[in-house]
Amino acid sequence: MKYSGWPDSGELVVGKIDEIEDFGVFVDLEEYEDKRGLIHISEVASGWIKNVRDHVREGQIVVCKVLDVDQDSQQIDLSLKDVNDHQRSEKIQQWKNEQKADNWMELALGEDTDDETYTAIANELIGEHGSLYDGFKQAAIHGNEALEGTDLDDDEVDAIVDTARENVSVPYVNVTGYVDLENPSPSGVDGIRNALEAAEGNGEVPEEVDLEVSYVGAPEYRIEVQAPNYKTAESQLEASAERAVAAIEDEGGDGEYHRERRTDEE
């Protein structure tokens, strides 16, 4: 998706070198429609420059800092030397992510979607999450809930969520805890089974969370949680253990949650 407006002074932009002259370099801005900037020879590199072509080549993708924007004269002044390696790498990755998100939009909406509809939906994602890529990423993690703050209709939300979950690689974290469950009451094994079912969620675990409960060795059971971040993972781990302890106590048994193992692996 290319923006129809103008970049701001101080912004980092991605461009393709279109033309090289003795006095500087003309750059087509990849993120803005029909926008072209100029890198004056003094902004190509630090120090004295004998030949601009020793530093850049036509067709090269570069990251530049916007020095000044004059809309009246249709002029954008850029600097190449003011961008460090970290900024360049980060900006290129962000640009590539947005290109991926553009492709996901086509998959979600269909190639025949008109520009007005595409832009309206894209702006909803950008307004809610800051960028198209982050919009799809949050949709992959949180599902329809991630788009509740937008004005998208149900079909549009479903299409974006489905596409996101099929295409977005989401980083997950894993945490593990343990719960001891003992039940001397008449309900015995059935009571333990009920407590384990409670630990697994009874439908209360969010879609973005994967929670598994497994047997370690009597009376110990392992709870493993995979979630998008540690805060969610830890809260779901504790909630699972609390459900198990509450359930076993309702059966007349005893339960205790702990983070470290207390029995040896068999």
Tokens 């129809």 belong to 4
CATH number of the domain bearing residue 211: 3.30.70.1130
Question: Are 243 and 193 in a shared domain?
Answer: yes
For 98, the token pair is 């947005």
Mean pLDDT of the chain: 91
Q: For the range 188-191, what are the long-range contacts, defined as Cβ-Cβ under 8 Å and sequence gap of 24 or more?
A: 191/248, 191/251, 191/252, 191/253
Question: Is the previous residue joined to 219 through a cis bond, with omega within 30 degrees of 0?
Answer: yes
pLDDT one-digit tens code per residue, 33-54: 999 999 999 999 998 999 999 9
CATH number of the domain bearing residue 70: 2.40.50.140
What is the percent of the chain where pLDDT is above 70? 98
Question: Are 189 and 230 in a shared domain?
Answer: yes
Q: 39: closest CA among 80, 72, 71? A: 80
Question: Are 78 and 138 in a shared domain?
Answer: no
Residue where a domain stops, chosen among 60, 83, 106? 83
Asked whether residue 266 is domain-assigned, the answer is: no
Residue where a domain stops, chosen among 127, 148, 167? 167
Q: What is the distance between the alpha carbons of residues 194 and 226, in angstroms, rounded to a whole number?
A: 23
Asked whether residue 21 is domain-assigned, the answer is: yes
Q: Give me the pLDDT at residue 263, please.
A: 58
Instruction: Give the domain extent around 196.
Output: 173-258
Asked whether residue 29 is domain-assigned, the answer is: yes
Q: Give me the pLDDT at residue 88, please.
A: 96
As a whole number of angstroms, the longest Cα–Cα distance in the chain is 91
Q: Give me the pLDDT at residue 265, please.
A: 47
Q: Give me the pLDDT at residue 95, please.
A: 95
Residue where a domain stops, chosen among 127, 143, 167? 167
Q: 123: closest CA among 153, 163, 162, 150? A: 150
Question: Are 126 and 190 in a shared domain?
Answer: no
Q: Give me the pLDDT at residue 236, please.
A: 92
Asked whether residue 115 is domain-assigned, the answer is: yes
Q: What is the distance between the alpha carbons of residues 257 and 179, in angstroms, rounded to a whole number?
A: 4
pLDDT one-digit tens code per residue, 153-204: 999 999 999 999 889 887 788 889 999 999 999 988 999 999 999 999 877 7
Q: Give me the pLDDT at residue 266, please.
A: 42
Q: Are 125 and 137 in contact (CB under 8 A)?
A: no
For 199, the token pair is 């630990």
State how many domains the chain has: 3
Asked whether residue 27 is domain-assigned, the answer is: yes
Q: What is the distance between the alpha carbons of residues 261 and 17, in angstroms, rounded to a whole number?
A: 59
Q: Give me the pLDDT at residue 220, please.
A: 93
Asked whether residue 265 is domain-assigned, the answer is: no
* In the predicted structure, residue 1 carries a pLDDT above the cut 90: no
CA dihedral (114, 115, 118, 122) in degrees, to 10, reads: 180
Q: Positive or negative, the Cα torsion across 43, 19, 68, 131?
A: negative
Asked whether residue 6 is domain-assigned, the answer is: no
Please tell me which residue, 74 or 4, carries the higher pLDDT value: 74
Asked whether residue 210 is domain-assigned, the answer is: yes
Question: Are 90 and 78 in a shared domain?
Answer: no
Mean pLDDT of 222-244: 90
Taking each helix axis as running N to C, give the angle between helix 132-142 and helix 85-109, from 0 to 180 degrees, rounded to the nearest 10. Answer: 60
* In the predicted structure, residue 259 carries a pLDDT above the cut 80: yes
pLDDT one-digit tens code per residue, 62-115: 999 999 999 999 999 999 999 999 999 999 999 999 999 999 999 999 888 888
